[in-house]
Amino acid sequence: WRGRPGGQRPGSPRERALSSLQLEYEGASPVQLRFLKLRSSLATQKVSYSCRPASEQGQPQLEKAIQFLADSREQSYAATLQGCVLDNESSITDTIFQFTTEELALLPLRDLAVFHNGDASHQFGFTVGPVCFS
């Protein structure tokens, strides 16, 4: 990963990846994406992060960092996620990330990873939306 906060790399003693997911876009060839980028001035994409808290209610939830690798593979977006804190154990919390850019080389997203500081107890998942060029 490029541009990680504090120069850290995944796998450092302080921070471990919970998950890394390389993204593929079925039916969108590199030629089609290049053509769309040439004919567009704006790109948008939405990602939903869903999580369920650990079963130990009342325990403090640690922050997690999330990284999204850009299509150029030269840049990445970074964000901090608060731990899953809910009143009801069976509920799920969603966080929506909306990416909008005029730098068309940044989308679609190509990889994402969640990093933690020792807490790997909660369940989580992602829903990656389509990239839209206009």
CATH number for the domain including 62?
2.60.120.1000
**CA distances (Å), origin 41, targets 7, 52, 103:** 32, 37, 8
What DSSP letter does each residue of 77-97 carry, written as one string?
A: EEEEE-----SSTT--EEEEE
* Ramachandran angles phi, psi of 46, nearest 5°: -120, 140
The total number of structural domains in the chain stands at 1
* Residue 7 maps to a domain: no
* Residue 110 maps to a domain: yes
* Residue 62 maps to a domain: yes
What is the largest distance, in Å, between two alpha-carbon atoms of the chain? 52
pTM of the model: 0.75
Query: What pLDDT sits at residue 64?
Result: 81
Query: What pLDDT sits at residue 57?
Result: 56
Domain that holds residue 42: 16-133
Tens of pLDDT along 44-86? 999 998 887 666 655 656 678 889 999 998 888 999 887 676 6
* Residue 1 maps to a domain: no
